[in-house]
Amino acid sequence: MKTYTESIPSMTSILSISIVMDENDEKEASLLLRKGFDKAKEIIQIISAWEVGTQMHAVNQAAGICPVVVCDELFYLIQRGLKIAELTNGLFDITFASIDKIWYFDKPMYKLPSALEIAKSISNINYKYVELDPENKSIFITNKGTKIELGAIGKGYIANEIKKLLLVNGIQSGLVNAGGDLVCWGKNSEGFPWRVGIADPNKKESFIAWLPLENQAVATSGSYEKYALIHGEKYSHIIHPQTGYPVKGLQSVTIISPDPELCDAIATSVFLMGLEKGLAFVNQFNDIQCFMIDDKNQYYYSDNLNTNQYVQTN
């Protein structure tokens, strides 16, 4: 058996698909990979908040004005996003894109934003501004300054839809990486579980652990790649939607779950909760596992993560 892999730029990141097929099936593998990428493009043309002409863009443009009728796919995703927002008490919020840009992580910052600037920056973030009408399949953002952006659950959704498409086409083993949101099924070409690495926050392109996985999804939220350095102190790019301030205490949160849409949203939410509250939150669920690294490079695991089986530290 052989692993066939292709990657394309997608949603400001990289979409990579790997499938396991016979060594002589190169032509068919190429066609199936192309089908997977076409599926991703089809979904993005519905859910992208930034591309003019998408249904998501239309919903945002009509904020504070009128409801917009959308397709079942977009209605489902927004509904799912609102349910996760409720589950996390608003730490995951699909209206986070409404934040004013006052923190910069791609150019120097020389002073902290004022308390007034910070308060104003988050004034339009509130998932409760989003109203659903299931009968008419319409979405209405009641506050004019509020926008919806589905990247956090959208990437997981895309990965899962590609997986479902490939399964229908007979692919029993594969891995999809949608901008860091991974879903895998079956085993790799050598007959073993897929190996997914947890990045070392202190060494670029190095891993501190490997997760042997099959039929699972994985997403990591980390503060080590993007940050602002102000007066010698690091400020993470992960901003609390209810305070407007970057959070401290953790470097990395990895979530493992069978549900790809949930992983990214829960990883960010747990990061915002912090170590103790985050672990307590994850430990409520039988099907969600967690691996965390704090600012002191200490590792922590949820109760249901079997470290002997799942975490193999280098």
135: domain CATH number is 1.10.3980.10
Contacts 24+ apart (CB under 8 A), 232-236: 235/103, 235/109
- Would 235 be classed as within a structural domain? yes
Q: H helices of 22-114, where?
A: 26-47, 55-61, 72-87
For the chain, how many structural domains are there in total?
2
Say whether both 309 and 202 belong to one domain.
yes
Residue 305 has pLDDT above 70, yes or no: yes
- Would 45 be classed as within a structural domain? no
Nearest-CA neighbor of 92 among 288, 240, 236, 279?
Answer: 240
The one-letter code for the residue type at 38 is D
What's the whole-number average pLDDT of the chain? 93
- Would 234 be classed as within a structural domain? yes
Say whether both 124 and 203 belong to one domain.
no
Residue range 24-81, pLDDT digits in tens = 899 999 999 999 999 999 999 999 998 899 999 999 999 999 999 999 999 999 999 9
Q: Which of 149, 183, 217 is the last residue of a domain?
A: 149
- Would 84 be classed as within a structural domain? yes
Say whether both 144 and 209 belong to one domain.
no
User: Is 145:98 a contact under the CB 8 Å cutoff?
Assistant: yes
pLDDT for the residue 227: 87
Q: How sure is the predictor about 312, in pLDDT bands with cuts at 50, 70 and 90?
A: low
Rounded Cα–Cα distance for residues 20 and 190 (Å): 10
Say whether both 144 and 199 belong to one domain.
no
Q: What is the pTM of this model?
A: 0.92
Say whether both 130 and 214 belong to one domain.
no
Residue range 212-227, pLDDT digits in tens = 999 999 999 998 878 8
Tokens of 206: 């190095």
Say whether both 198 and 88 belong to one domain.
no
Rounded Cα–Cα distance for residues 72 and 75 (Å): 5
What average pLDDT does the segment 297-302 reach?
A: 94
Quote the percentage of the chain above a pLDDT of 70: 97
Q: Which of 132, 149, 166 is the last residue of a domain?
A: 149
DSSP string, 155-196: HHHHHHHHHHHHHHTT--SEEEEETTEEEEES--TTSS-EEE
Say whether both 198 and 309 belong to one domain.
yes
Residue 12 has pLDDT above 90, yes or no: no
User: Is 199:206 a contact under the CB 8 Å cutoff?
Assistant: yes
- Would 24 be classed as within a structural domain? no
Tell me the binding residues for Mg(2+). 152, 264, 268
User: Is 47:54 a contact under the CB 8 Å cutoff?
Assistant: yes
- Would 304 be classed as within a structural domain? yes
Tokens of 255: 């979530």
3-state secondary structure of 310: helix
Residue range 120-168, pLDDT digits in tens = 999 999 999 999 999 999 999 999 999 999 988 999 999 999 999 999 9
Q: How sure is the predictor about 202, in pLDDT bands with cuts at 50, 70 and 90?
A: confident
pLDDT for the residue 310: 58
pLDDT for the residue 309: 61
Rounded Cα–Cα distance for residues 6 and 14 (Å): 10
**283 secondary structure, DSSP code:** T
Q: Which of 149, 179, 214 is the last residue of a domain?
A: 149
User: Is 53:61 a contact under the CB 8 Å cutoff?
Assistant: no
- Would 14 be classed as within a structural domain? no
Range of the domain at 121: 55-149
What average pLDDT does the segment 170-184 reach?
A: 96
Tell me the binding residues. 152, 264, 268
What average pLDDT does the segment 106-119 reach?
A: 91
- Would 106 be classed as within a structural domain? yes
Question: Cα separations (Å) of 184 from 107, 156, 288?
Answer: 36, 11, 16
Pairing of strands 227-230, 194-199: unpaired
Nearest-CA neighbor of 153 among 271, 306, 8, 263?
Answer: 263
CATH number, residue 309 = 3.10.520.10
